Amino acid sequence: MVASVISVDRLRKTYGTFVAVEDVSFEVEEGEIFGLLGPNGAGKTTSVECAQGLRVPDAGDISVLGLDPRTEGSQLRQLVGSQLQESALPGRLKVWEALDLFASLVPGGPDWRQVMERWDLTGKASASFSSLSGGQRQRLLVALAVVNEPRVVFLDEMTTGLDPAARRATWQLIEAIRDGGATLVLVTHFMDEAEQLCDRLTIVDEGRVVATGSPQSLIAEHGGDLLIHFSTDRPDVSFLDAIESVHTVSRHGPHVTVAGHGPVLALVGAELVRNGIVPTDLRVQQSTLEDVFLRLTGHGLAE
């Protein structure tokens, strides 16, 4: 049994009469990258802010590293790291000054020079925040989030507004934080990001949990059929219909599409070869988390 680092149980949070989080529960296990995935306005940020003790929930139980964020928030904040918004740092602040300042807030004063080295910022130590490139800023924000060697790191929409190369670089930073031993909570509305990075995730929509699991298990359970495409000159491939995990076989000229579930790819491949068909263009098309979201909510992730 893996220990839960974070446990959120039946969280509810209103702003006046507006219900931002209706009923959200999830568990985060030690050492994983856990995602909260959902469209804008789903209540993700509110949920993680409650978990960090930055907002007070109306109802529900939260435990983070065995602490109650409501009553033990200041203790908790020593143990967690969270990524700042870019706008939170003054442009003239130098890289080393920012690290020094953040380290000074932590009892024991961690060695920020090591952190600066690890995130490849030493060459920019005396550069002002405003003079940094997008990638360097991102590295500094990560460095500041981990300067206190947190056991849990919260990252909220870290790649919004980044170009594809900077996004990929940021994904590597996120994996590097996990490799350093921390547990990560990643808030995102990008399904490709969640699919790529998260060990497990909870999909939220309109303040409620829609589904929880690993990306692969969610796709297998809710994503619908696997599609297998190949071409053949053989006019009759009806032997594929007999495979148990095949649902439909359709064809347009030489192009055949088989829809099925479970081990369908291996079974179709084996049956093709057994019948003397060895297609060179066999490929499989799998559903994505976007399909999962669409199926479970009836609407897309984009606003």
Ligand X SMILES: Nc1ncnc2c1ncn2[C@@H]1O[C@H](COP(=O)(O)OP(=O)(O)O)[C@@H](O)[C@H]1O
Residues that bind Mg ion in the complex, under the rule CB under 5 A: 45
Question: Closest residue (Cβ) to Mg ion?
Answer: 45
Cα atoms in the Cβ-side hemisphere of radius 13 Å centred on 227: 12
Residue with tokens 């706008």: 87
In angstroms, what CA-CA distances link 51 with 59, 68, 140, 218, 292?
12, 9, 24, 24, 26
Nearer to Mg ion, 64 or 204 (CB): 204
Nearer to ligand X, 42 or 272 (CB): 42
Q: Is 194 in the site for ligand X (CB under 6 A)?
A: no
Q: Is 268 in the site for ligand X (CB under 6 A)?
A: no
Smallest gap, in angstroms, from Cβ of residue 182 to ligand X? 22
Contacts of 245 (CB under 8 A, 6+ apart): 260, 261, 262, 263, 264, 267
Contacts of 271 (CB under 8 A, 6+ apart): 239, 240, 243
Q: Is 18 in the site for ligand X (CB under 6 A)?
A: yes
Smallest gap, in angstroms, from Cβ of residue 45 to ligand X? 3
Binding test (CB under 6 A) with ligand X, winner from 41, 60, 110, 213 = 41
Name the DSSP class of 112: H
Size of the site for ligand X (CB under 6 A): 11
- How far is the C-alpha of 6 from the C-alpha of 14, rounded, in Å? 22
Smallest gap, in angstroms, from Cβ of residue 24 to ligand X? 10
Binding test (CB under 6 A) with ligand X, winner from 3, 40, 278, 300 = 40
User: Which of 81, 162, 92 has its CA nearest to residue 115?
Assistant: 81
Binding test (CB under 6 A) with ligand X, winner from 6, 45, 211, 246 = 45
- How far is the C-alpha of 133 from the C-alpha of 248, rounded, in Å? 51
Q: Is 60 in the site for ligand X (CB under 6 A)?
A: no
Nearer to ligand X, 121 or 204 (CB): 204
Nearer to ligand X, 51 or 249 (CB): 51
- How far is the C-alpha of 166 from the C-alpha of 247, rounded, in Å? 41
Nearer to ligand X, 153 or 237 (CB): 153
Q: Is 44 in the site for ligand X (CB under 6 A)?
A: yes
User: Which of 40, 51, 4, 43 has its CA nearest to residue 23?
Assistant: 43
CB atoms inside a 10 Å sphere around CB 265:
17
User: Residue 42 touches which of Mg ion, ligand X, none (CB < 5 to 8 A by kind)?
Assistant: ligand X
Residue with tokens 């009806």: 238
Smallest gap, in angstroms, from Cβ of residue 130 to ligand X? 27
Smallest gap, in angstroms, from Cβ of residue 193 to ligand X? 14
The residues of the shown chain that bind ligand X, judged by CB under 6 A, are: 15, 18, 20, 38, 40-46
